[in-house]
């Protein structure tokens, strides 16, 4: 048991490095204020690998569980990997760095999920321990580019043959970002919350 009164949750957390747990109990880990740092083989992420050129590599993980001041379960951290995807300009393999920052707060109902403090996404708590890989995999899937490209300076086709203007490139990027938001189920909850807040503040 760790006494964290008057201190940052990071100051008193016990860091466990190396092997990551297969399953997690967020409530228990948050009460203990545990941190985990390690890596997982990319080939364990079946759904993610289906979008990639191969399954070689590692996913680096940092997780910190703690209780907020109002006694709610919080999971913060990040997950990152260098993922190989097919560049849609030159059709060669592009290695893309992908990172997702986690700011999750435990909830039991959809209503709680819609009323989270700004900056947090819901972590649906369950009676049974939850598997870690599917949780991290969902975060990485949401961080994948809609369309994979080499950086302009690394793509031979982009250097020699592209006719896309800067304005067209910006428009394509905006469309891709909007599509990514539609793919994220939590963005729907955020939109509903924003609409609800707006309706309560508008003059009748």
Question: Which one has a higher pLDDT value, 167 or 125?
Answer: 125
pLDDT of residue 146: 87
Q: What is the C-alpha separation between 166 and 24, in angstroms, rounded?
A: 46
Asked if residue 30 lies in contact with residue 12, where contact means CB atoms within 8 angstroms, the answer is no
* pLDDT band, very low/low/confident/very high, at 200 (cuts 50, 70, 90): low
Q: Give residue 150's pLDDT band: very low, low, confident or very high (50, 70, 90).
A: confident
pLDDT one-digit tens code per residue, 10-39: 444 566 677 788 999 999 999 999 999 999
Specify the pLDDT at position 147.
Answer: 84
Residues in the chain: 204
**For the residues 52-74, what does the mean pLDDT come to?**
95
d(CA 75, CA 34): 10
Please list, residue by residue across 54-66, b when 16 or more beta carbons sit within 10 angstroms of its beta carbon and e when fewer do. eeebebebbbbbb
d(CA 164, CA 102): 34
pLDDT digit string (tens) for 66-114? 999 999 999 999 999 999 999 888 888 989 999 999 999 999 999 999 9
pLDDT surpasses 60 at 196? no
The answer to whether the predicted template modeling score (pTM) of the entire model surpasses 0.75 is no
Comparing 153 with 55, the larger pLDDT belongs to 55
Nearest CA-CA partner of 49 in 137, 174, 167, 180: 137
- Res. 201: pLDDT tops 80: no
Band the pLDDT of 50: cuts 50, 70, 90: very high
Q: For residue 100, which of 59, 65, 67 has the smallest C-alpha distance? A: 59
C-beta separation of 74 from 66 below 8 A: yes
Q: Label residue 165 by pLDDT band (50, 70, 90).
A: very low
């Amino acid at each position: 048991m760790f006494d964290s009164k008057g201190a940052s949750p990071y100051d008193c957390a016990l860091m466990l490095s190396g092997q990551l747990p297969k399953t997690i109990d967020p409530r228990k880990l948050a009460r203990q204020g545990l941190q985990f740092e390690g890596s997982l083989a990319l080939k364990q992420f079946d759904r993610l690998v289906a979008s990639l050129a191969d399954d070689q590599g590692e996913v680096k993980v940092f997780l910190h569980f703690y209780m907020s001041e109002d006694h709610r379960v919080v999971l913060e951290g990040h997950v990152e990997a260098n993922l190989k995807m097919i560049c849609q300009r030159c059709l060669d393999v592009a290695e893309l760095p992908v990172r997702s920052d986690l700011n999750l707060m435990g909830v039991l109902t959809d209503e709680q999920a819609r009323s989270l403090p700004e900056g947090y996404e819901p972590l649906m708590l369950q009676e049974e321990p939850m598997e870690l890989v599917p949780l991290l995999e969902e975060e990485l899937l949401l961080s994948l580019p809609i369309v994979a490209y080499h950086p302009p300076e690394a793509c031979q086709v982009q250097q020699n043959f592209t006719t896309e203007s800067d304005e067209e490139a910006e428009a394509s990027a905006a469309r891709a970002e909007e599509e990514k938001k539609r793919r994220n189920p939590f963005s729907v909850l955020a939109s509903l919350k924003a609409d609800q807040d707006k309706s309560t503040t508008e003059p009748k």
